[in-house]
Structure 1
């Protein structure tokens, strides 16, 4: 019942966001037309073509709509790009959704071929310039745009917002099912579209507890597997992503960015899935869309607007109104790292529940058992909601550390930062764990905590041990989600590890146990990147 209500809440949140941010109606104009475009295999695609008033040729922008979204929701951005910036814009509803034909193929080869067919149509039926073609989109549209740039060398520039590079690591991070994301995608896809054969098969097997078909389809639909082809075709690529994306976790984007050899730009900002750029989709002022427009202007129109000489990595601190900082590359965002070694959780005069410290030197030789299969007050929040609250209201997911049940979790607290600090990069955790069963899920949370025990979630990550030997220690190394976050003066870092989180489908069962330990060979530690 709990997971069902969460799924309904997620779907309702998505619907409210889409409705609230629908673009205002534009005055009737012969420059905007509703079209039916033949897809790659004769499937009709519903589209909107927006043509500037001036004579062409015009650089072409093709914008595939997001998952479960209609092309009309992007009319505001399309009109702004056409009327103010002079682009021939074609935004289309991807196959299987709403009034587009065919079935939803989850960014499969059919979707990539559709994008190329839309380019063909635009070149044949509008004043589009065949020498200046860009693609862009949010979420599903971002992924399709990147995949198309790997297969169609006509694409000169790409803007991918809240997309993915690795579909498996998005929906099955560290072999843990991203439950809320999967259920939201399936439910919204069924409500607004017609599942294709691949999606039907994956969905049915998933409902039966088999994730293998989803894992088998993921590589073909992952831009990370096609990075060599993208580099060969050499489109200019802008990647924009929110830190708290609950569907496509952020850490895959910087690593993909580093593998690109093309002209490229990385923008990371506060928010949840698609929330940093949704207002821009409606044609409203928006930092991400403004930079995207400059990106297209430079690479498709040849404008010398300065974007080509700026530092390419732009990171906003993860809070409402956070400051932006720029870097020449992603590794430069981390100026130094601190390794905090985890000490044995013990009771003390100031800590009535067992709590471990953090030291500068390894602290091996301890074991700490926790009961598995039951959650604590530490959790990662709800997708779409939690990240948006942090973005707009500076309300991060919180926890009261004294209320975290130490029978079900390990808790470690470090020293205060008297002057504060900024975490910038990808924190990591290393511990030894000894499970009592072959499959056990672990959840790691890093908090900025006050002296009174109130914590603000900085980052988190799941990890599932599969095929483990019961009673035998295994070393777990986990990269948490990448982030830039200020830690206020007087606060300290707290690491929590438990075995259940409502965002994910865990494998831990009640009655099982997990023993966390630190050994000479593998001392338990958390490594923190600092700006």
Structure 2
């Protein structure tokens, strides 16, 4: 779920982790082989790579963790391009121990970085309070607070919830009507940004990756838009894409993007996620269900939400054969949509 979500190699994330290993340590022969197979798209070793990851995942040992009963605080950034937030929320929901979940704007380690310098930092402050209560026994009230605490990317305001499912309690669907065919192997201009840099700009300046939605070339990008919203839409949690896909080749990769589109057509990235398939029958439709990366973003009144799908993004390794095309359709008995999670107002 960290570097292989949607069965897609997260290229920049894996390359950074691997490079950091060589820079600061001595990677074992096992790690060297796994990263060679992973970055080299050696699908014959896919099961071995997944098993390697599961062995190192806390999720594999959830029963033992719950039995142990340790109080667990999870903190992460909405834009963490190495460890996306969805997996934290899923893990949090499985915990039966005393627990707390916090999400803030930023990328990997950037939300916590100032604490390393001894500067005031919310993550560090909450961690100290957590330790003070569960290790020292201080009655500081941290155990009586609502356990899910998130910070909006748009306003910087904190919100608290009793559990994760309450974060985006209201769901609103955007229909993905009609039939749309796109060609592969060309970056349409819709991208998830650059590892660390893009989400740092979003964290401090509220400048997420952007794209001019009207100018995206429809030959290489599928675009669907909502109506213009008459009131502010508070996107909270995990947007989900459901569609029917017909490929012309047995393998392929798509990347879905959710944009906040202003009156002039400038789209600000709300979320994205990749999806890769292998072994499909060319010309035969199949269903696709894809969770976009969880987030907290406020869409202003007068704006729209747009779902954009293309096939190339520098963040990910794609598997689109030369000349491949992808067709998205919406059958009457199984309509396509993107489900938007909204805060109940």
Specify the alignment match of 1:341 in structure 2.
Answer: 175
Q: Given the alignment of the two structures, is residue 235 of structure 1 paired with residue 70 of structure 2, yes or no? A: yes
- Report the CA distance shift for 1:530/1:507 in structure 2 as closer, same or farther (over 3 A): same
Specify the alignment match of 1:291 in structure 2.
Answer: 126
Aligned partners of 2:231 and 2:300 also within 8 Å: yes
Gaps (5+ residues) in structure 1?
A: 1-168, 345-366
Specify the alignment match of 2:269 in structure 1.
Answer: 457
Quote the offset at 1:205 in angstroms. Answer: 2.8
Residue from 463, 468, 483 that aligns with 2:280: 468
1:74-93 counterparts in 2 under 5 A? none
Q: Matches of 1:469 and 1:509 in 2, distance apart?
A: 14
SS in 2 for 1:170: coil
How big is the alpha-carbon RMSD for the aligned residues of Structure 1 and Structure 2? Answer: 1.2
Specify the alignment match of 2:7 in structure 1.
Answer: 175
Quote the offset at 1:453 in angstroms. Answer: 0.8
Q: Matches of 1:368 and 1:427 in 2, distance apart?
A: 21
1:361-376 counterparts in 2 under 5 A? 367-376=179-188
- Report the CA distance shift for 1:220/1:524 in structure 2 as closer, same or farther (over 3 A): same
Specify the alignment match of 2:293 in structure 1.
Answer: 481
Q: Matches of 2:291 and 2:39 in 1, distance apart?
A: 29
Specify the alignment match of 2:340 in structure 1.
Answer: 528
1:317-339: per-residue Cα shift (whole Å, max 9, x none)?
A: 013x5100001111111231111
SS in 2 for 1:418: coil
Q: Matches of 1:468 and 1:249 in 2, distance apart?
A: 27
Residue from 318, 343, 367 that aligns with 2:153: 318
Residue from 166, 186, 200 that aligns with 2:18: 186
Larger radius of gyration: 1
1:82-125: per-residue Cα shift (whole Å, max 9, x none)?
A: xxxxxxxxxxxxxxxxxxxxxxxxxxxxxxxxxxxxxxxxxxxx
Aligned partners of 2:251 and 2:321 also within 8 Å: no
Quote the offset at 1:208 in angstroms. Answer: 4.3
Q: Matches of 2:302 and 2:133 in 1, distance apart?
A: 45
Aligned partners of 1:424 and 1:483 also within 8 Å: yes
Q: Matches of 1:208 and 1:441 in 2, distance apart?
A: 16
Q: Given the alignment of the two structures, is residue 197 of structure 1 paired with residue 29 of structure 2, yes or no? A: yes
Runs (4+) of structure 1 moved beyond 6 Å?
Answer: none
Structure number with higher relative contact order (C-alpha < 8 Å, ≥ 6 residues apart): 2
Quote the offset at 1:316 in angstroms. Answer: 0.4
> How many residues get paired?
340
SS in 2 for 1:218: helix
1:185-334 counterparts in 2 under 5 A? 185-206=17-38, 208-210=40-42, 211-212=45-46, 213-319=48-154, 322-334=156-168
Given the two structures, how large is their TM-score scaled by the length of structure 2? 0.96
Aligned partners of 1:475 and 1:522 also within 8 Å: no
Q: Matches of 1:504 and 1:527 in 2, distance apart?
A: 24
Q: Matches of 1:498 and 1:521 in 2, distance apart?
A: 25
Gaps (5+ residues) in structure 2?
A: none
Specify the alignment match of 1:358 in structure 2.
Answer: none
Specify the alignment match of 1:397 in structure 2.
Answer: 209
Aligned partners of 1:312 and 1:327 also within 8 Å: yes
Q: Matches of 1:465 and 1:451 in 2, distance apart?
A: 36
SS in 2 for 1:258: helix
Quote the offset at 1:216 in angstroms. Answer: 2.2
Aligned partners of 2:259 and 2:268 also within 8 Å: yes
Specify the alignment match of 2:197 in structure 1.
Answer: 385
Given the two structures, how large is their TM-score scaled by the length of structure 1? 0.63
Aligned partners of 2:11 and 2:39 also within 8 Å: no
Quote the offset at 1:214 in angstroms. Answer: 2.4
